Amino acid sequence: MSARPDQPPIEQARALAGWLAGPRSRALQRALVGRRERVLDVGSGHGIVTAELARRAAGETVALDIDEAALAGDEYPAGAVRVCGDARALPFHDASFDLLLFQNVLLWVGDAEQAVAEAARVLAPGGALVALEPDYGGMMEHPDLGLRVIWLDALERAGADPLIGRQLPGLCEAAGLRPWVELAHIPAHAEAEALALLLGLPLTPGERRLVEGARPIIAAAAGGWSVFLHVPYFLVVAHRD
């Protein structure tokens, strides 16, 4: 088990950011990222997506993470402001930002309702919240390798909410935002590397053996479609009037 299941090693974080690159780009484009002058990356981790925001936004990008050590990473772009803080109690004034991003963060915060309410508080009128969060309850696999149940159980043991995706639209609406919702279109060949994220969670010995046994099955597919693993992601762009 990883010391911090919510903070995968940098190579895994790069892979995850890459898998979500297309949906994230669409969502940010819909949120008019190129016109945004005050951008907040909540739960920025290693800073991989912070660098993308800094390239695309029109003004200052601020990265916030609860882990001070993560904020010291080399992936952060020059000029990005780094702030150590909790998504459930953002250390910023009301209406401080015109774009805010969550990616695989509300999954882990423990109180997503409070985190979304805080996001709405710090958004300026006309601002947008962009969220990309998974919903493991809708995971599809073929053939059935038993991984869906393991993901659900292991995430709950680690303190995550594996069904956060389906809750996002309602949480945004309750916070006074107007959500636009899409299920991300990211079906892809199964990759054995994705199981490294699962192996970083608290697994029982039996679950670990099953996951390890799935790796050669996925590897033998050699990037083909004979093995299919898909976790749906909810894309939400929610505007503040």
Distance CA(193)–CA(199), nearest Å, equals 10
Is pLDDT above 50 for 1?
Answer: no
81-84 sheet: strands from edge to edge: 81-84, 60-65, 38-42, 97-103, 123-134, 233-239, 178-183
User: DSSP letter string over 159-204?
Assistant: T--TTHHHHHHHHHHHTT-EEEEEE--------TTHHHHHHTS---
Q: Is a pLDDT exceeding 50 seen at residue 72?
A: yes
Instruction: Taking residues 149-178, report their average pLDDT.
Output: 97
Of 186, 80, 78, 59, give the one whose Cα is nearest residue 127. 59
Confidence of residue 2 (pLDDT cuts 50, 70, 90): very low
Please compute the mean of the pLDDT values over residues 45-68 and round it to a whole number: 96
- Give the residue among 19, 6, 10 at the shortest CA–CA distance from 188: 19
Whole-number Å distance between alpha carbons of 58 and 60: 7
CATH class of the domain at 10-135+160-187+232-239: alpha beta
Structure pTM? 0.93
Domain positions in the chain: 10-135+160-187+232-239
Using CA atoms, how far apart are residues 169 and 177, in angstroms rounded to an integer? 9
Is residue 48 very low, low, confident or very high in pLDDT (cuts 50, 70, 90)? very high
